[in-house]
Amino acid sequence: MLAFRLACMLETGAREDQITAFNQPEPVPADRELQCYMYCMFRAYNATKPNGDVDVIDVYHAIPKQYNSVALKAIARCQPNIGGEDPCERAYAHHKCWKEIVPDTPQMGLT
């Protein structure tokens, strides 16, 4: 995961402080770098479709097994409401919704 994190930070320009802030309970601004970092992480885990959308089945299989039950809860509640103009915005929307649904789970190991 650290290799993915570093590669995605380099690719997108996201900073450690942005990622750390996002993983805290408080809401944070949706900086473009952070949005694209989230998309990059999904790509790194092979959890995106050819059109750039997040593939929630692949996400489920990519996360550590201890998060499976919370992942199902988050996916069921978030998937119908995901929107955005491009893959970066949609990836961020997934992470943001999951953070709201399961705030005590640090992004299920995907950030």
For residue 93 the two structure tokens come to 């929307």
- Dump pLDDT digits (tens) for 55-82: 988 988 888 888 888 888 888 888 888 8
Question: Residue 109: which pLDDT band, with cuts at 50, 70 and 90?
Answer: low
**Measured distance CA(71)–CA(11) in Å, rounded:** 27
In angstroms, what CA-CA distances link 96 with 3, 18, 50, 55? 23, 13, 22, 16
Name the pTM for this structure: 0.86
Average the pLDDT over 27-50 and give the result: 92
Instruction: Name residue 54's beta-bridge partners.
Output: 48
Write down all domains in the chain, each with its CATH number in brackets.
Answer: 2-109 (1.10.238.20)
CA-CA-CA-CA dihedral for 4, 10, 58, 48, to nearest 10: -160
